[in-house]
Chains A and B, each alone.
Chain A
C-alpha cells in the first residue's frame, strides 16, 4: 500500500479557507471561521480574506440593488478577535480571549486556498471571477453565498451563480450556501442553520468541517440548483413580505407569501433542474420564515419602504446594504416567461416595480390570484 493510501486512513489535511467579499455577510462568515479555527485548529489551517475594491463592488448599474452599499466596511470581520462562550448560545458574546488570525490577501493569493467562500454582490461577480480565474485551479472548491441570479452574461441569458463560476473559472467543485442565518445571527452566535448544495460530497463535507459549530448547524444536499434558486427566491418573497408588513396585512398574509412563494420558486427551480423538496427545507421555507420576519433582511426593509410609497431610487440608499430582491424579481420574471411558468407573485411584483400596477392592483396580484388546487 502506498504512502498516500495509508494517509487516507488519517484525518484529512486542514483547509486553507478564503473568504471573498467586503460586506457584512462575508465578514460574518470570516468571523465564524475565525471562531472555529480557535476551537478546532485541526480543521482550518488558515483564513484568508480578499476584499474586492469598493469600486468593483459599486460597479453595478444605478437601478441594480445588488451593488455593495455597506455603510461600515471594516477590514476585519465583525467577530474577529472575539471568542464567545459557546455554552451561552444566543447570549451576548464573551470578551475576546485571542486575536483571530485572518489574513488580508491580494487576489493572486487566492491560489493558496483550498476552499473559497464567495460573498460578493451578484452584479460584480462575473468580473470578479474573471479577474480571479488565473489564480484558481481544479483542486479548489468554491461555495457562494450570493442570494441572487447573475446579470446576463455574453450568452444573453440570466444565470445561476454556479453557471458563472463554471463559465469564468476552471473550478468544478462548486457549492451554494443558503438557510435561515443572517449576518447578525452568525455575529452573535445565535442558533442558526445553513445548507450547502453541491453535486460534490467533498464540498459539502468541507463546509461542515469549517463552518459547523454548536450554534451553527450545516446541512448538505446535492441539489445545487435548488439551493441557488431557493436562496435567490427568498429575496423576492422577503421584499413582498416587507410590502405586506408596511400595509399591516397581518400574519396570514405572511404565511401565504411564504408557502405560495416557496411553491412558485419550486416551479422555477424544478424547471431549471432542481428538486422541489429543497424549496420546502432549510434553503426554501427555512430561509423564507427568517427573511420575511424581522430585522436584518435588507430586502424585507426595502419592501417596507416601497410599501410606504418610497421610490426604488430613494429607498435603496436608505437601506445602505445589498438588496437582491429587485434584481431577482426582474430575472425570475424573465426566466418564468421563457419557461412558460405560472408565477403570479413574481409577475405582480415585477409589474408593480415597473410602474405598470399601483399598490392596490399589485396586492390583488399577490393575494387575489385565481383559486385552484394547491
Chain B
C-alpha cells in the first residue's frame, strides 16, 4: 500500500487505509505456487464435464471442424494447434480406438488449460502498481511538474498529483473487510482497453487485493502489455474459438480459481461498449461460474462433494467513468457500421497505436478528475444485496440463507436451467447497479446538450442522416448552452443520477472542462467554440457560441446520458 491511496480515495468511508500487513494475504501471491495444480484440476474437471455430454469422437470432431473452418478463413496467430494438425487429427478420427481418442482429447484439454492459465509475479506487481504510474507521469507531463529531482525528494506531491486524476467512490471499507474472508468478483463496465490497467490501479489504490481476470488473447500480442498481463493475473480468453470444448475449459478454469478463493474480475458486457452506452445486456457465461463455484462450495460444506472449503463470493459491480475514451473514434465508427458487420474483436484501434496512447495519457494526466471508478454495493451470486457482514438480504432487507436457493426436494446441486434463470436475475441486478452508479462527466453532459440541439435542428431524420447532414449554421449561443447544462443537471439530479467531478459544478465550469478535455485529445473535438466567436464578448468578435464538432463523437459521448433514460 503506497501513499497514492490516501489521495485517491474520495472518502466515502471514514478510513480508506487497509490494515497494515494485509498485503501479504493476497491470494494471487500464492498463484505461482498453485498454477500447475490449477491447470491439472481444470483439465481433469473439464474433461469430465465434456465426457458427461458426449463421446470423445464427437467432441474432437466438433472442435476439428470449428478450428479448420476458422483457421482456413483467417490468418492464424498464436494457436494451440495449427491448421495442419487439426486437419490430420480430423482425417484420422474415424480409425482410432476409444483409448486413443481419450488420450488425444486429454492432451487437447490440457493444452487449452495451459494456454488459458495466467501467471502472477510479485515484483512485476510492485513495479506496475507503484513505480510505473509515477514514471509515466514524469515522462508524459514534465511541463506540469517541478523538477524531477524535487519529486524524488518529495514523492507524496507526485502521488497527490496522480491521485487527483483518478477518483474512487463506493463502499470501499466494506469491500476491504469482505475481501479478507471472501472472493470478490469485480464486474466493471467496459469502454476501453485501458480499463484493465485502470481497474488494477484502482484496486491497489483502494486497498483491495489484485484480482485475476480474463483478457482477450489479442491483447497479449502486444509485447509490453502482454508481459504485464501475463504477470499480473490475467488469463487468456481466445474469443475466436467458438467450440464447446474450449468454452468448457475456460469456464472450468474460472470456476477452479474462484473455488480456490482468488479474487476475479469479469467484464460482463463481453466487449467494449461500442456505442458508449452503459451496458444493459450482459454475457453471463463466465460470470455464471460464480454460481457453480458457490454451489460446489455448499456441497463441500455439506459433505456432498469432496474437496477443501470454498470461501463465499461477492459480486461487485463497478462503473469506470472517463472524461475521454481512448478508442472513442474507432468504437463509434464500428458501432455505426451496418448491423452484422460490426467487429467483435477490433485489433487495429487506438489502443494499438503508441502515439495515441501517449496522447491520451497525457491528456488524462492534464485534467483533474478525469477518471472516476465507482464501486457499487456488493451483491451475492443471486444478485441480492449483502449487509456489512456479507449476509444476503432479501427484498425487504431481511437476512436470507443463500444455500436455500440451491436446495430443492432434498438436494443441493447445480441445476442448469434453474441456475441460468438465477443468473439472468443476477445480470439484471448488475445492470441496475450500473445505471444507479454511473458517474456522468462534464463531457457527457455537454455532448448531450449539443446532441439534443442537433436533433432539434435536424428533426424527423434517422440517426445516420443526423450524423451526415451538413449543419454549418448550428451556432448555439453560449448562454443557451449554459442554460441547457443547468436544466440537464437538475433533471439528472432529480432522478438520482450521479454527477462526477466538475459535472456537478457551475454550468460554466462544466462547459469549460468539457471543451478543454475534448480539444486536448481528439483531433476533431465533439464540441468546440465557434471559431468566429470569443469566450467573452468583445467588439471585435461575435457573441460567444458553441458548435458541434465531430458528430459521431458527439453521439458517442452523449450516449452515456441517453442510455440512462434521460433526454433533455
Contacts and interface: CB of A to CB of B under 8 A. Distances in A.
Contacts of B353: none
B398 A170 contact: yes
Interface residues of A, number: 29
Q: Is the interface of A mostly helix, strand, loop or mixed?
A: mixed
Interface string B390-407: 000011101011101101
A63 to B, nearest CB: 29
A155 to B, nearest CB: 12
Nearest to A199: B421
Contact of A8 (B404, B413, B417): B413
Contacts of B411: 4, 7-8, 12-13
A70 to B, nearest CB: 30
B400 A137 contact: yes
Contacts of A206: 409
A13 B409 contact: yes
A133 B400 CA distance: 11
A170 B398 CA distance: 8
Contacts of B410: 7, 12-13
B419 to A, nearest CB: 10
Interface string B186-222: 0000000000000000000000000000000000000
Contacts of A8: 411, 413
Interface stretch (A161-169, A314-322, A324-332, A344-352): A161-169
A368 interface: no
Interface in A76-116: 114
Nearest to A1: B305
Contacts of B303: 2
A138 B408 CA distance: 9
Given A2-B305, A5-B413, A139 B400 contact: no
A114 B409 contact: yes
Given A2-B304, A166-B395, A172 B409 contact: no
Given A166-B395, A172-B422, A201-B418, A4 B401 contact: no
B387 interface: no
B412 interface: yes
A128 interface: no
Contacts of B402: 138
Interface in A123-167: 130, 133-134, 137-139, 141, 166-167
A12 B394 contact: no
Contact of A4 (B394, B404, B413, B425): B413
Given A8-B411, A12-B410, A201-B418, A133 B396 contact: yes
A137 B401 CA distance: 7
Nearest to A11: B409
A280 interface: no
A358 interface: no
B405 A2 contact: no
Interface residues of B, number: 30
Contacts of B304: 2-5
B551 interface: no
Contact of A138 (B401, B413, B424): B401
B518 to A, nearest CB: 38
Interface in A1-22: 2-5, 7-8, 12-13, 15
Nearest to A2: B304
A202 interface: yes
A200 interface: yes
Contacts of A138: 382, 400-402, 404-405
Interface string A6-47: 011000110100000000000000000000000000000000
- Of A8, A141, A202, chain B has the most CB atoms within 10 Å of the CB of A202
A169 B409 contact: no
Contacts of B263: none
A202 B299 contact: no
Contacts of B345: none
Nearest to B407: A139
Given A4-B304, A137-B401, A202-B418, A12 B409 contact: yes
B415 interface: yes
A169 B404 contact: no
Contacts of A139: 404-405, 407-408
Interface in B280-312: 299, 302-306
Contacts of B418: 173, 200-202
A12 B409 CA distance: 6
Given A15-B409, A168-B395, A2 B404 contact: no
Contacts of A166: 395
- Of A15, A114, A169, A170, chain B has the most CB atoms within 10 Å of the CB of A170
A168 B395 CA distance: 6
A114 B304 CA distance: 21
Contacts of A169: 394-395
Contacts of B425: 172
Nearest to A166: B395
A4 B395 contact: no
A233 B150 CA distance: 76
- Of B402, B410, B413, chain A has the most CB atoms within 10 Å of the CB of B410
Contacts of A7: 410-411
Contacts of B404: 137-139
A251 B236 CA distance: 67
Contact of A133 (B305, B398, B407, B415): B398
A166 B396 CA distance: 10
Contacts of B299: 2, 4
A12 B408 CA distance: 9
A160 to B, nearest CB: 15
Interface in A167-194: 167-170, 172-173
A123 B402 CA distance: 31
Contacts of A201: 417-418
A172 B382 contact: yes
B412 A170 contact: no
A4 B412 contact: yes
Contacts of B305: 2, 4-5
A200 to B, nearest CB: 5
A130 B396 CA distance: 9
Interface of B: 299, 302-306, 382, 394-396, 398, 400-402, 404-405, 407-413, 415, 417-418, 421-422, 424-425
28 contacts: A2-B299, A2-B303, A4-B299, A4-B304, A4-B411, A4-B412, A5-B305, A5-B413, A114-B409, A133-B394, A133-B396, A134-B398, A137-B400, A138-B405, A139-B405, A139-B407, A168-B395, A169-B395, A173-B408, A199-B424, A200-B417, A200-B418, A201-B417, A201-B418, A202-B408, A202-B415, A202-B417, A206-B409
Given A12-B410, A172-B425, A202-B418, 15 more contacts: A3-B304, A5-B304, A7-B410, A8-B411, A13-B411, A134-B398, A137-B401, A138-B402, A168-B395, A173-B418, A199-B421, A200-B417, A200-B418, A201-B418, A206-B409
List the 8 shortest-distance A-B pairs measured between CB atoms, nearest first.
Answer: A138-B405, A170-B394, A138-B404, A4-B304, A13-B410, A139-B404, A12-B409, A170-B400
